[in-house]
Amino acid sequence: MVYHENDSGVVNDNVKVCVRARGLLGSNEVGRNTCLTALPSQNAIMINAKPDPKLFAFDYVADEHTTQEQLFDSVARPLVDSFIGGYNACIFAYGQTGSGKSYTIMGGGDVNQSDQNGLIPRTFQHLFTTLNNNQSSSINNSYEDDSNDNNNNEEDNRLQSYKCTLSFLEIYNEQIMDLFVDTSPNLSIREDIKKGIYVEGLREIEITDTQTAMELLEIGIANRHVAETAMNSNSSRSHSVLTINLESTVCIKQTKDGLTKNKYSRLSLIDLAGSERQKSTEAAGTRLKEAGSINKSLSCLGNVIRSLVDLANGKPRHVQYRDSKLTFLLKRAKNIRNMAIVNEEASGSDCRSTVATVRDENTPFGSVALTFVGARGIGVAATPKDGAGTTLSEVAL
């Protein structure tokens, strides 16, 4: 795993993990036992497994009382600020179907209900508020007296101008589709020495304010593949990747004319389709094919993360990025700051699935969750709180 050294010379871990536990919802869940208990004050979760419950710590833990605003401020805002400062960043939500991933990333209900807005709408609002404030501050200070020549060589980094573009795609049955187009062809991923990893033919639309960005988001959401299953009435049948590209021009010297430099940064917000068990979702036909594609790509993601962990621990590994469109596209996330949000249901019916799948690294959910946990040695995920030396095979998210 890659580390980044900040200006102070301190090495920061590039991947952090948040667990968000969804409470019991609906009359059919009232009175059911819970398989996990979130403990936000300790940034830990308690797995109510028999015979012995287990306690694990994460970078951040949210429960059903954590508001959308609180989650954004704690988890996403630091990465958005880092993105504005010129660093690349990635936030993705992962979990079983129906665990609340889309609610976390997109929000729920009417987009005008600001308290229900997810990470993406809040990112738009914070991004443009910050950029416009920074630019206004630069304009107000642009004619200040620069008679102090001692400061001429110091960095100023005042924002002079910026340009934001937005793209939105989905990976459906291993096909990449542009969500800004009603009927999108299957797009191809390319790798270029100068451009890096990119999607050929994907539209990038300039955005200048929150309202424009939200209108585009609504278009994309309407074009995404969703369907009803036995576990989720509005199940995402694809992975979605929303990417904001920022080009900013900043003043780097405190002189009247000023010397400038351009910064380029990228922020991706990813809503991964939920892993599924056919028995639970009762999928058949098209739904079964979709589930197979989802599970395969998530399994590939787990394999890639595991290989990266091994490499970081000095073990020789070939990372199979090209095994799926998802992992090939996320290859560009290996050198940037990442936040993984693992969404979990607390209902008793999912406890066996939660524990069993993580114990079995061959299942899609377990493959990804297990590698998050296994990477903790390099600052990624869960640590046993009891100091009992819990092995990876005993860990449950």
**pLDDT of residue 330 exceeding 80:** yes
Domain boundary among 227, 251, 271: 271
Please tell me the pTM assigned to this model: 0.79
Looking at the structure, do residues 233 and 371 belong to the same domain, yes or no? no
What confidence score (pLDDT) does residue 281 get? 47
Of 162-166, 184-188, 250-254, the one with minimum mean pLDDT is 250-254
Residue 60 lies in a domain: yes
What confidence score (pLDDT) does residue 339 get? 83
Cα–Cα distance between 282 and 235 in angstroms, integer? 13
What are the beta bridge partners of residue 34?
347
Looking at the structure, do residues 119 and 254 belong to the same domain, yes or no? yes
Residue 13 lies in a domain: no
Looking at the structure, do residues 249 and 319 belong to the same domain, yes or no? no
Of 160-164, 319-323, 345-349, the one with minimum mean pLDDT is 345-349
Residue 239 lies in a domain: yes
Note the pLDDT tens digit of each residue in 186-216.
999 999 888 888 999 999 999 999 999 999 9
Per-residue pLDDT band at 76 (split at 50, 70, 90): very high
- Highest mean pLDDT (candidates 69-83, 181-195, 338-352): 69-83
* Greater model confidence, 3 or 174: 174
Domain holding 215: CATH number? Answer: 3.40.850.10
Residue 168 lies in a domain: yes
What confidence score (pLDDT) does residue 135 get? 79
Tokens encoding 143: 């004619």
**pLDDT of residue 165 exceeding 90:** yes
Looking at the structure, do residues 175 and 245 belong to the same domain, yes or no? yes
Q: How far is CA 307 from CA 13, 334, 365, 373, in A?
A: 17, 12, 16, 13
User: Has 99 been labeled as part of a binding site?
Assistant: yes
Looking at the structure, do residues 309 and 378 belong to the same domain, yes or no? yes
CB-count burial class (<10 Å; 0-12, 13-18, 19+) for 233:
exposed
What is the average pLDDT across 248-267? 77
User: Has 302 been labeled as part of a binding site?
Assistant: no
**pLDDT of residue 311 exceeding 50:** yes
Residue 385 lies in a domain: yes
CB-count burial class (<10 Å; 0-12, 13-18, 19+) for 48:
middle
What is the average pLDDT across 310-335? 83
Of 33-42, 128-137, 248-257, the one with minimum mean pLDDT is 248-257
Cα–Cα distance between 249 and 376 in angstroms, integer? 37
**pLDDT of residue 94 exceeding 50:** yes
- In the chain, how many domains are there? 2
Q: Are 327 and 306 in contact (CB under 8 A)?
A: no
Domain boundary among 256, 271, 286: 271
* Greater model confidence, 326 or 233: 326
Looking at the structure, do residues 155 and 256 belong to the same domain, yes or no? yes
User: Has 107 been labeled as part of a binding site?
Assistant: no
Nearest-CA neighbor of 45 among 73, 64, 72? 64
Of 216-225, 233-242, 302-311, the one with minimum mean pLDDT is 233-242
What confidence score (pLDDT) does residue 112 get? 59
Q: Are 61 and 18 in contact (CB under 8 A)?
A: yes
Looking at the structure, do residues 124 and 267 belong to the same domain, yes or no? yes
75 three-state secondary structure: helix
The residue range of the domain holding 40 is 18-64+299-334+341-397
Looking at the structure, do residues 180 and 57 belong to the same domain, yes or no? no
Of 34-43, 187-196, 306-315, the one with minimum mean pLDDT is 306-315
What radius of gyration do the chain's Cα atoms show?
22
Q: Which residues are catalytic?
A: 98, 100-103, 271, 274
Contact partners, residue 308, CB within 8 Å, separation at least 6: 1, 317, 319, 334, 375
User: Has 101 been labeled as part of a binding site?
Assistant: yes
How many Cβ atoms from other residues are within 10 Å of residue 300's Cβ? 23
Per-residue pLDDT band at 255 (split at 50, 70, 90): low
How many Cβ atoms from other residues are within 10 Å of residue 376's Cβ? 21
**pLDDT of residue 14 exceeding 90:** no
Please give the span between the terminal C-alpha atoms of the chain, in angstroms, as a whole number.
Answer: 21
Percent of the chain scoring above 70 in pLDDT: 65
What is the average pLDDT across 37-57? 81
Residue 26 lies in a domain: yes
- Highest mean pLDDT (candidates 11-15, 138-142, 143-147, 161-165): 161-165
Percent of the chain scoring above 90 in pLDDT: 29
* Greater model confidence, 322 or 261: 322
Looking at the structure, do residues 122 and 264 belong to the same domain, yes or no? yes
Residue 201 lies in a domain: yes
CB burial string 257-296: b at 16+ within 10 A, e below: ebeeeebebbbbbbbbbbbbbeebbebeeebeebbebbbe
Mean pLDDT of the chain: 74
User: Has 95 been labeled as part of a binding site?
Assistant: yes
What is the average pLDDT across 311-330? 87
Looking at the structure, do residues 135 and 257 belong to the same domain, yes or no? yes
Of 15-19, 59-63, 135-139, 252-256, the one with minimum mean pLDDT is 252-256
What is the average pLDDT across 9-34? 61
What is the average pLDDT across 257-269? 84
User: Has 379 been labeled as part of a binding site?
Assistant: no
The alpha carbon dihedral of 85, 88, 93, 94 has a sign of: negative
Cα–Cα distance between 346 and 63 in angstroms, integer? 10
Residue 73 lies in a domain: no
Looking at the structure, do residues 315 and 246 belong to the same domain, yes or no? no
Looking at the structure, do residues 213 and 348 belong to the same domain, yes or no? no
Domain boundary among 253, 271, 289: 271
